[in-house]
Chain A
Amino acid sequence: MSKPATETLSVVVERDIPYPPEKIWRALTQPHLIEEWLMKNDFKPAVDHRFNLRADWGAVDCQVLAVEPHKTLSYTWAAYGLESIVTWTLTRTDTGTHLRMEQSGFRPDQQQAYQGAKGGWPRFFGNLEQVLARLD
């Protein structure tokens, strides 16, 4: 319970990949390649571009937030009524690339999107974890 509430809904997956950032960047940003590993899409690497990721179980609504070729790619990810942000970070290494993906559900700077809620999401999830912990 000592974990900051803001991390409650944050997912990080990272991996060292034996290919240069340029090649990985293509796989992250070219629609026909994205389709092969993620989902069908109409992605464009342009800030503010809205796109969908489509799978047989449903669709994810996205909007590009940041594009820094071969380094950073960030987009919103709205599914199941939950808005989150997916950020890809590519760091060149001696053996290829360190690829990091972070999906954060409710970052502090998103709180303004939920104005009117006392304390906003992060504190809410902090409380929630305490509440759930008491249930057992």
Chain B
Amino acid sequence: MPSAPDVLFRTLADPTRRAIFERLCREGEQTVGALTARAGVSQPAVSKHLGVLRQAGLVRDRHDGRQTHYSAQPGALAPLIDWTSHMVGFWRSRFDRLEDLLKRMDQ
């Protein structure tokens, strides 16, 4: 399920978290250890970021023995792409209201 846009934006607003997600998109499934090696932060920090990403529906985890593999779920990003069309609709309706107001205003 795609998550709500606000959760998605908040999740991706963190640069480290976004970088982790980007890497999973680009390079495919990886373990926490592999991600930590290049993340520039500690393994607990990476795990925490992965947890937040998972809650937002952006990554999926797969257990294989003692290892957990994480993979990106780019389909969860759809609401982000919807942002543009949503805002266009919003501003067009506000322009209509602005024009109505201008008609009613004194010079």
Q: Do A and B come from one complex?
A: yes
Contact B25 A101 (CB under 8 A): no
Contact A135 B84 (CB under 8 A): no
Whether a CB of chain A sits under 8 angstroms from the CB of B1 is no
Number of residues on chain A facing chain B (CB within 8 A): 38
Q: How far is the CB of A118 from chain B (nearest CB, A)?
A: 6
Interface string of B36-77 (1 = CB under 8 A from A): 000000000000000000000000000000000000001101
Number of residues on chain B facing chain A (CB within 8 A): 35
Q: How far is A118 from B83 in the complex, measured between Cα atoms in Å?
A: 23
B7, B9, B78, B92, most chain A CB atoms within 10 A: B9
How many A-B Cβ pairs are below 8 Å?
Answer: 96
Q: Could you say which of B16, B87, B88, B101 contacts A37, with CB atoms under 8 Å apart?
A: B101
CB closest residue in chain B, given A86? B91
By secondary structure, the A interface counts as mixed
Task: List, in ascending order, chain A residues with CB within 8 A of B87's CB.
Answer: 11, 103
Q: How far is the CB of B15 from chain A (nearest CB, A)?
A: 4
Contact A11 B102 (CB under 8 A): no
Contact A81 B91 (CB under 8 A): no
Contact A131 B101 (CB under 8 A): no
Q: How far is A114 from B40 in the complex, measured between Cα atoms in Å?
A: 16
Given A13-B92, A27-B98, A33-B105, are A118 and B22 also a contact pair (CB < 8 Å)?
yes
Can you list the 7 inter-chain pairs with the closest CB atoms, starting with the nearest?
A: A81-B10, A117-B15, A81-B9, A37-B97, A80-B6, A116-B15, A82-B9
Q: How far is A53 from B74 in the complex, measured between Cα atoms in Å?
A: 32
Contact A128 B74 (CB under 8 A): yes
Q: How far is A88 from B34 in the complex, measured between Cα atoms in Å?
A: 46
Task: List, in ascending order, chain A residues with CB within 8 A of B84's CB.
Answer: 8-11
Whether a CB of chain B sits under 8 angstroms from the CB of A122 is no
Q: How far is A42 from B93 in the complex, measured between Cα atoms in Å?
A: 22
Contact B13 A13 (CB under 8 A): no
